[in-house]
């Protein structure tokens, strides 16, 4: 059952009403039914990024991915505007070349943004319903989950072409690559398990049972544990990567994603069902704090210094900024329609948010926590990750 997607995209349905919905549709067919009447509206650029003029846009199908991105910092030289898909008003501060990869779930593609040009420079055809994105530490490969085809596409960042596909479990959503780059972990929402991929051969080594409707996934900095959010069973599975043994932690309702602090001490889970962020102590695997954020939090990312966490609130069109020392919300940012995926630049100065309702990526300036501008991508952007290469 597509508990995760239906709940996030259609908040008027309760869990009981969801159980009464026929489940003989594929993830792709559900997406088609949700977006087939959507029309792209005109937009304007303002403090909150791209805003639609019409409030009657159909809700888009949403998907889960927690990614920790590496993006070259930019600085605004003037007010940012968008022309022909480019983000104007920025200058690049570093020579490091980065490409941003965005999975467009409704466009069957991945958009490639060149951070030097601040524009979408390539669109890659990827399967049927690409949703989750992760990059290897060396920046040479991108792994993209395909909900509709139950496979993972592997993109070579040199050629920006799909070089192979890997069959995994039913309805894969989240993907994370281990810090050493040797393993990729994929959550399979439909089959309730986790696929373990050997990245040297791009083959599935093992399949580990977890909870109901697993969505988000993150690996600890030392690579010894994997945390998986189980959207349908209100829990997190913690997997020992040496033994593949799993323990279960109860968290908030409908946890959709997870991110781990750089020191490995805490796992932060966005709980879409209650509008809260749970903070799990990884030493004891118990929840130490629940913090109220916005309506239907979808994803969470943490700055490289561990000081702040950014949470996309899909139902509120905002991003919550959390001070991890005080465990309080210190800012709420209006970003645009249906914010979903989120990534933080390594120096913490920029945050990148996919906006599913306006087919774009918003760029947040963390100096003042305002939206500096947006970049056009494909329809229903979900997962986002950045490949940084010399």
Average pLDDT over residues 355-373: 93
Please give the Cα distance from 109 to 126 (Å, whole number).
Answer: 5
276 closest CA partner among 257, 258, 295, 261: 295
- Output the pLDDT for position 47: 33
Beta bridge partners of 297: 313
Q: Tell me which CATH code domain 3-389 carries.
A: 2.130.10.10
DSSP for 136-162?
Answer: -TTSSEEEEEETTTTEEEEEETTTTEE
The top-scoring range by mean pLDDT among 37-51, 267-281, 342-356 is 267-281
Q: Residue 10: which residues within 8 A CB-CB, separation 6 or more?
A: 34, 59
Q: Residue 251: which residues within 8 A CB-CB, separation 6 or more?
A: 229, 234, 235, 236, 269, 271, 278, 280, 287
Dihedral sign from CA coordinates of 71, 299, 356, 142: positive
Domain-wise residue ranges, the chain: 3-389
- Output the pLDDT for position 15: 26
Please give the Cα distance from 82 to 45 (Å, whole number).
Answer: 8
Please give the Cα distance from 30 to 105 (Å, whole number).
Answer: 12
End-to-end CA, the chain: 43
pLDDT tens sequence across 372-389: 889 999 999 999 988 886
227 closest CA partner among 237, 212, 241: 237
**In the structure, what pLDDT confidence band is assigned to residue 159 with cuts at 50, 70 and 90?**
very high
**In the structure, what pLDDT confidence band is assigned to residue 298 with cuts at 50, 70 and 90?**
very high
Q: Please give the distance of CA 71 from its chain centroid, rounded to a whole number.
A: 15
């Amino acid at each position: 059952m597509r508990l995760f997607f239906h709940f996030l995209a259609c908040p008027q349905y309760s869990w009981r009403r969801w159980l009464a919905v026929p489940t003989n549709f594929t993830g792709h067919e559900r997406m088609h039914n949700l977006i087939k009447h959507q029309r792209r509206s005109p937009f304007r650029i303002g403090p909150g990024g791209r805003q639609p003029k019409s409030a009657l846009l159909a809700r888009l199908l949403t998907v889960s991915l927690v990614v920790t991105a590496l993006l070259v910092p930019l600085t605004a030289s003037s007010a940012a505007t968008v022309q022909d898909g480019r983000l104007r008003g920025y200058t690049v501060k570093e020579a490091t070349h980065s490409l941003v990869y965005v999975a467009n779930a409704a466009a069957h593609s991945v958009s490639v943004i060149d951070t030097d040009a601040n524009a979408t420079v390539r669109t890659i055809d990827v399967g049927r319903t690409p949703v989750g994105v992760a990059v290897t530490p060396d920046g040479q490969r991108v792994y993209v989950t395909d909900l509709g085809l139950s496979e993972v596409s592997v993109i070579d960042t040199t050629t920006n072409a799909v070089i192979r596909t890997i069959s995994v479990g039913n309805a894969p959503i989240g993907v994370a690559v281990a810090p050493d780059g040797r393993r990729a972990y994929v959550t399979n929402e439909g089959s309730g398990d986790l696929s373990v991929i050997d990245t040297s051969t791009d083959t599935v080594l093992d399949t580990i049972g977890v909870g109901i409707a697993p969505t988000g996934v993150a690996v600890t900095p030392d690579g010894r544990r994997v945390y998986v959010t189980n959207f349908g069973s209100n829990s997190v599975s913690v997997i020992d990567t040496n033994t593949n043994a799993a323990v279960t932690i109860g968290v908030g309702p409908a946890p959709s994603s997870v991110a781990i602090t750089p020191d490995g001490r805490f796992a932060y889970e966005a709980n879409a069902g209650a509008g809260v962020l749970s903070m799990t102590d990884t030493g004891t695997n118990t929840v130490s704090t629940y913090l109220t954020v916005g309506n239907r939090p979808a994803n969470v990312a943490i700055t490289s210094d561990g000081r702040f966490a950014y949470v996309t609130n899909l139902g509120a069109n905002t991003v919550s900024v959390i001070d991890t020392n005080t465990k309080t919300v210190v800012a709420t940012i209006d970003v645009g329609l249906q914010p979903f995926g989120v990534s933080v630049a390594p120096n913490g100065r920029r945050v990148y948010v996919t906006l599913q309702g306006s087919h774009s990526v918003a760029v947040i300036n963390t100096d003042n926590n305002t939206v500096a501008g947006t970049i056009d991508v494909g329809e229903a952007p979900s997962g986002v990750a950045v490949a940084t290469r010399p």
